[in-house]
Amino acid sequence: MSFKVIPKAALPDWIEQMRRSQRVVGPKPLHGQHVFGEIHGAAEIDLDYPTTVIPPKKYLFPQQEDLLTYKLDGSAPSVVQDAEPTVVLGLHTCDLHALHLLDRVFEKTHVDQPYMARRAKTTLVSIECLRPCMSHSFCKSMGTLSVTDGFDLHLTDLGDDYGVDVGTPKGAALLDGLKGVREATGDDRQRVNRIMTEKWPRFPLRLEFDVTELPSLLSVSYDSKLWDELGERCLACAMCTNVCPTCYCFNVADEVELTLTAGKRYRVWDSCQLDKFATVADGHNFRAKRGARQRHRFFRKGKYQTDAFGLLGCVGCGRCAQACLVDITPVDTWNELHRPATEGTKEAAA
């Protein structure tokens, strides 16, 4: 839409202004790491953060979420509608790409109202990453190092100012009446261009092949012995899926109050890495081996989601690699699958 500039000095006013009508959440330091949490004032937010333990997806798809509440007196259950108007301030572009995928997943065929209700009340203000956040991230390889759309506002750190790409009228409305905002000049645009040009070489390409080859690489890797090797190492702890911005599998359960007069039905994050995920009532487990579960995970990330939704199921944030105690990582896994094929070709050519 348009390009504007906000002086950094206006951040406190801006946050205060947004907080008058809605909740503002953003990255803040906690115990030496960063987490997304409610921001009460500019002093709490750290927009120059590396990454967060849990991605901001939790505001659209909370770790646990009530679907229905009911009385146990035979009356009809009620649908829980507790979505709060929220500005997510400062999400990184990998996490924004992940939300594009979740939007498609939850909107397709059967519309998932709990997600869509939160989505409709959420305003996304993303921020351009200018330095790699950690050694495990590989956003450049996955094509998520920047964004062209999908945000309401997108910030670029220009030193004393933020460059603001206005993506939607909803984003523009956040700036209404804010003192200090101005239209970008040719000079500002040049500053952004220079910063973008300078940032690019700072990020390493970590996949040893072009990511567009990933779905086809996987389709010839189904029977690789690597899956069993990963299965031997994997602890089936589910940390990798818990921290992932594109994972959305869930369990549904009921909980009755101690008085036995009322209860609720809720959903809670689940994981394909857990032993019983695919077990049916007669005890048969359709993915009993850890190797089969690792294969399923990496196929979802690199192929199944692309086939179904046209977007990769991994945005290269690196959180799973950081979280895994036995160093199972998407980069190593996919490179390993790619390597023998290449060597094989070389040998065949020799």
Partner 1 sequence: MSTPLRDTLSEPSIYLPTAATIADVRAVGKREKVFTFELPKGLSLAHQPGQFVELSILGVGEAPISISSSPSRSNGTFELCVRKAGDLTGVLHTLKAGDTVGVRGPFGRGFPIERFRGKDMLFAPGGLGLAPLRSLINQVLDERGNFGRVIIAYGARDPGELLFKDELERWAERSDVELHLTVDRGDETWSGPVGVITTLFPKIEVHARNTVAVTVGPPVMYRFVLMELLGKGLSEGNIWLSLERRMKCGVGKCGHCQINHLYACQSGPSFSYAEIKHLGEAL
Distance CA 242, CA 61 (A): 12
Beta-carbon contacts of residue 19 (< 8 Å; ≥ 6 apart): 39, 40
Binding-site partner at residue 243 among ligand FAD, partner 1, ligand SF4, none, CB < 5 to 8 Å by type:
ligand SF4
**What percent helix, strand, coil does the chain show, rounded to 5?**
40, 20, 40
If contact means CB under 5 to 8 A according to the sort of partner, which of ligand SF4, partner 1, ligand FAD, none does residue 334 touch?
none
Residue 281 beta carbon to ligand FAD: minimum distance, rounded to whole angstroms = 3
Which residues, numbered 64-93, are part of the site for ligand SF4 (CB under 6 A)? Answer: none
Binding to partner 1 by CB under 8 A, coded x per residue (else -) over 137-176, reads ----------xxxx--------------------------
Residue 243 near residue 319 (C-beta atoms within 8 A): yes
Rounded CA-CA distance 65/251 in Å is 11
- Contact between 249 and ligand FAD by CB under 6 A: the answer reads no
Query: Which residue's CB is nearer to ligand FAD, number 22 or number 279?
Result: 279
List, in sequence order, the alpha helices (H) in the chain. Answer: 11-19, 93-107, 113-120, 139-142, 169-175, 186-199, 214-219, 226-233, 239-242, 290-299, 305-309, 319-323, 330-349
Least distance (Å) between residue 250 CB and partner 1: 5
What residues from 222 to 251 belong to the interface with ligand SF4 (CB under 6 A)? Answer: 234-240, 243-246
Give the ranges where 179-246 is alpha helix by DSSP (H). Answer: 186-199, 214-219, 226-233, 239-242
Checking 247-256 for CB contacts under 8 A at 24+ apart, the result is 247/271, 248/57, 248/61, 248/102, 248/105, 248/106, 249/277, 252/67, 256/72
- Please name which of 124, 20, 48, 63 lies closest in space to residue 250, comparing C-alpha atoms: 63
The distance of closest approach from Cβ of residue 43 to ligand SF4 in the complex, given in angstroms and rounded to an integer, is 30
36, 49, 106, 203: which one binds partner 1 (CB under 8 A): 106
The Cα–Cα gap between 208 and 101 comes to 24
48, 179, 326, 342: which one binds ligand SF4 (CB under 6 A): 326
Rounded distance, CA 78 to CA 80, Å? 6
Site string for partner 1, 109-128 (x = CB under 8 A): xxxxxx-xx-xx--------
| SS3 state at 106 | helix
- Supply the minimum distance, in Å, between the C-beta of residue 268 and ligand FAD: 12
Which CB sits closer to ligand SF4, 210 or 257?
A: 210
Q: Binding to ligand FAD by residue 279, rule CB under 6 A?
A: yes
**Binding partner of residue 113 among ligand SF4, ligand FAD, partner 1, none, CB cut-off 5 to 8 Å per kind:** partner 1
Of 115 and 266, CB closest to ligand FAD: 266
User: d(Cα 56, Cα 139) in Å, to the nearest integer?
Assistant: 17
Helices (H) and strands (E) in the chain, counts: 13, 12
Instruction: Give the footprint of ligand SF4 on this chain (CB under 6 A).
Output: 234-240, 243-246, 273, 301, 314-320, 323-326, 328, 330
Instruction: Give the footprint of partner 1 on this chain (CB under 8 A).
Output: 67-68, 70, 72, 74, 76-77, 79, 100, 103-114, 116-117, 119-120, 147-150, 222, 248-254, 256, 263, 265, 267, 270, 272, 277-282, 284, 286-287, 292, 296, 299, 303-304, 307-308
